[in-house]
Structure 1
Amino acid sequence: MLVDREKIAAALPSYEVGRQFGSGGFGLVLEGRHRSLGRRVAIKVLTTPEPAVERRFLAEAQVMAAFDHPHVVRVHDYADHEGLCLLVLEHCPGGTLSDRLDAPVRPETACAITLAVADALHAAHARGIIHRDVKPDNVLFAEDGAAKVTDFGLAKIYEGSVVTSGSLVGTPGYAAPEQILGQPVRPASDVYALGGVAYHLLSGRPPFPEGVPIAEMLHRQLHDSAPIPVGMPPRFAEVVGRALRRDVAARTPSAQEFAVALASAATAELGPGWLMRAEVPLRVEEEVRQAATAVARAGRTDVTVASRTERRPRRADRGSAPGSGRSAPAGTGRHAAPEAEDGPRYPSGPSELLSTSEVRRRIDVWASHADEGPSRRTLLLLLAGLAVLAALSIGAGAVVGSLQR
Structure 2
Amino acid sequence: MSEELEALLARGELLPAARRLCAVGRHDEAADLFAKLGLFAEEGACARHAGDLVRAHTAHLKARAWAEAAQDRERALAEALPADHEALRRTLAEQCLAAGRPAEAAVLLELAGEVEGAAAAYEAAGNDLAAARLCGFIGRHRHAVELLQRHLDGLDASADESERAEARLALARAKIRLGRPDEAIPLLQAVERSTAPRWRRREALSLMLGCFSALDYRAATEAVWQRLLPYLDDPPADHRTYLARLAVDQEETGDDDLDERWVAGRYRLQRLLGAGSTGQVYLAQDVASGREVAVKLLAGVAGNRGGVDRFFREARIARSLEDPGIVRIFEADAARGYIAMEYLPAGTLADRLRGGRRLGVAEMKRIVAGVARALAAAHRRGVLHRDVKPENIFLDAAGRPRLGDFGAAHLLSFKQTGTGHLLGTLAYMAPEQLDDSPLSARTDLWALAVSAYRALTGRLPFPGPDVAAQQEAGAPPPSSLRPGLSHEVDRFFERAFAVDPAARFPDAIAFAAALEALPEEDAPVEEAPRAEGSPRAEAPDTGSVRYEVLRAMGERVSLARDAALGRLVVLERIPSEADAYLDRIRAVAAAANPHLQPVLDLDPEAGLVVYAFLDGEPLPEAARTPRPHRAALRVAADVAVALVDHPGPLRPQRIFVHGGRAVLALAGLESLRAGAAPPRDVRPTVGRVLGWLSTGADPGPTEGPLEAVGEAPPHGAAHLAGWLEEALLPKRTKAS
Which residue in the other structure is 1:239 paired with?
A: 492
Aligned equivalents of 2:449, 2:278: Cα separation in 1: 27
Which residue in the other structure is 2:324 paired with?
A: 70
Conserved in 2, the CA contact under 8 Å of 1:169 and 1:175?
A: no
Which residue in the other structure is 2:477 paired with?
A: 228
Conserved in 1, the CA contact under 8 Å of 2:262 and 2:269?
A: no
Q: Once the 2 structures are TM-superposed, how far is the Cα of residue 92 of structure 1 from its aligned partner?
A: 1.1
Correspondence 1:261 to 2:514: yes
Q: Once the 2 structures are TM-superposed, how far is the Cα of residue 257 of structure 1 from its aligned partner?
A: 0.1
- Structure number with greater Rg is 2
Which residue in the other structure is 2:529 paired with?
A: 349
Code of the residue aligned with 1:21 in structure 2: it is L
Q: Once the 2 structures are TM-superposed, how far is the Cα of residue 80 of structure 1 from its aligned partner?
A: 2.9
> What CA deviation, in whole Å up to 9, does each residue of 1:264-306 have, x standing for no partner?
11xxx22xxxxxxxxxxxxxxxxxxxxxxxxxxxxxxxxxxxx
Which residue in the other structure is 1:191 paired with?
A: 445
Which residue in the other structure is 2:50 paired with?
A: none
Q: Once the 2 structures are TM-superposed, how far is the Cα of residue 6 of structure 1 from its aligned partner?
A: 9.8
Conserved in 2, the CA contact under 8 Å of 1:11 and 1:79?
A: no
Aligned equivalents of 2:432, 2:298: Cα separation in 1: 29
Query: What is the SS of the residue equivalent to 2:428?
Result: coil
Code of the residue aligned with 1:128 in structure 2: it is G
Which residue in the other structure is 2:341 paired with?
A: 89
Aligned equivalents of 1:217, 1:349: Cα separation in 2: 21
Q: Comparing both chains, which one has the higher relative contact order based on Cα–Cα distances under 8 Å and sequence gaps of 6 or more?
A: 1
Code of the residue aligned with 1:220 in structure 2: it is Q
Aligned equivalents of 2:293, 2:389: Cα separation in 1: 23
Correspondence 1:18 to 2:270: yes
Correspondence 1:208 to 2:462: yes
Q: Once the 2 structures are TM-superposed, how far is the Cα of residue 17 of structure 1 from its aligned partner?
A: 2.2
Code of the residue aligned with 1:40 in structure 2: it is E
Aligned equivalents of 2:263, 2:291: Cα separation in 1: 18
Q: Once the 2 structures are TM-superposed, how far is the Cα of residue 219 of structure 1 from its aligned partner?
A: 3.5
Aligned equivalents of 2:358, 2:503: Cα separation in 1: 30
> What CA deviation, in whole Å up to 9, does each residue of 1:202-242 have, x standing for no partner?
11111112xx54xx224423x22112131331122222221
Correspondence 1:128 to 2:377: no
Structure in which a larger fraction of residues adopt helix: 2
> What CA deviation, in whole Å up to 9, does each residue of 1:342-389 have, x standing for no partner?
71347833769xxxxxxxxxxxxxxxxxxxxxxxxxxxxxxxxxxxxx
> What CA deviation, in whole Å up to 9, does each residue of 1:67-124 have, x standing for no partner?
111111111111134xx41011100111121111122212211111111110110111
Gaps of 5+ in 1: 271-341, 353-405
Which residue in the other structure is 1:284 paired with?
A: none
Q: 1:52 to 1:254 in 2, by over 3 A?
A: same
Q: Once the 2 structures are TM-superposed, how far is the Cα of residue 11 of structure 1 from its aligned partner?
A: 4.7
Code of the residue aligned with 1:19 in structure 2: it is R
What TM-score does the superposition give when structure 2 sets the normalisation length? Answer: 0.35
4+ runs deviating over 4 angstroms: 4-11
Q: Once the 2 structures are TM-superposed, how far is the Cα of residue 169 of structure 1 from its aligned partner?
A: 3.1
Code of the residue aligned with 1:110 in structure 2: it is M
Counterparts of residues 232-381 of structure 1 (less than 5 Å): 232-265=485-518, 269-270=519-520, 343-345=522-524, 348-349=528-529
Conserved in 2, the CA contact under 8 Å of 1:164 and 1:183?
A: yes
Code of the residue aligned with 1:247 in structure 2: it is D
Q: Once the 2 structures are TM-superposed, how far is the Cα of residue 55 of structure 1 from its aligned partner?
A: 1.1
Aligned equivalents of 2:398, 2:523: Cα separation in 1: 26
Which residue in the other structure is 1:217 paired with?
A: 467
Aligned equivalents of 1:14, 1:179: Cα separation in 2: 40
Conserved in 2, the CA contact under 8 Å of 1:228 and 1:237?
A: yes
> What CA deviation, in whole Å up to 9, does each residue of 1:316-354 have, x standing for no partner?
xxxxxxxxxxxxxxxxxxxxxxxxxx71347833769xx
What TM-score does the superposition give when structure 1 sets the normalisation length? Answer: 0.62
Aligned equivalents of 2:443, 2:266: Cα separation in 1: 39
Code of the residue aligned with 2:295 in structure 1: it is I
Aligned equivalents of 1:155, 1:350: Cα separation in 2: 37
Q: Once the 2 structures are TM-superposed, how far is the Cα of residue 165 of structure 1 from its aligned partner?
A: 1.9
Q: Once the 2 structures are TM-superposed, how far is the Cα of residue 16 of structure 1 from its aligned partner?
A: 2.4
Aligned equivalents of 1:93, 1:38: Cα separation in 2: 16
> What CA deviation, in whole Å up to 9, does each residue of 1:127-163 have, x standing for no partner?
111111111111111233221111111112233x432
Conserved in 1, the CA contact under 8 Å of 2:272 and 2:280?
A: yes
Aligned equivalents of 2:377, 2:261: Cα separation in 1: 34
Correspondence 1:166 to 2:345: no
Code of the residue aligned with 1:244 in structure 2: it is F
Correspondence 1:32 to 2:211: no
Which residue in the other structure is 2:574 paired with?
A: none
Query: What is the SS of the residue equivalent to 1:44?
Result: strand
Gaps of 5+ in 2: 1-247, 533-736
Code of the residue aligned with 1:24 in structure 2: it is G
Query: What is the SS of the residue equivalent to 2:345?
Result: coil
Conserved in 1, the CA contact under 8 Å of 2:312 and 2:334?
A: no
Conserved in 1, the CA contact under 8 Å of 2:263 and 2:269?
A: no
Which residue in the other structure is 1:317 paired with?
A: none
Aligned equivalents of 2:266, 2:331: Cα separation in 1: 10
Conserved in 2, the CA contact under 8 Å of 1:169 and 1:179?
A: no
Aligned equivalents of 1:237, 1:120: Cα separation in 2: 24
Query: What is the SS of the residue equivalent to 1:92?
Result: coil
Name the count of aligned residue pairs. 270
Which residue in the other structure is 1:150 paired with?
A: 404
Conserved in 1, the CA contact under 8 Å of 2:273 and 2:283?
A: yes
**Cα RMSD (Å):** 2.3
Code of the residue aligned with 2:267 in structure 1: it is Y
Conserved in 2, the CA contact under 8 Å of 1:191 and 1:253?
A: no
Q: Once the 2 structures are TM-superposed, how far is the Cα of residue 191 of structure 1 from its aligned partner?
A: 1.0
Which residue in the other structure is 1:180 paired with?
A: 434
Aligned equivalents of 1:47, 1:220: Cα separation in 2: 35
Percent identical across equivalent pairs? Answer: 33
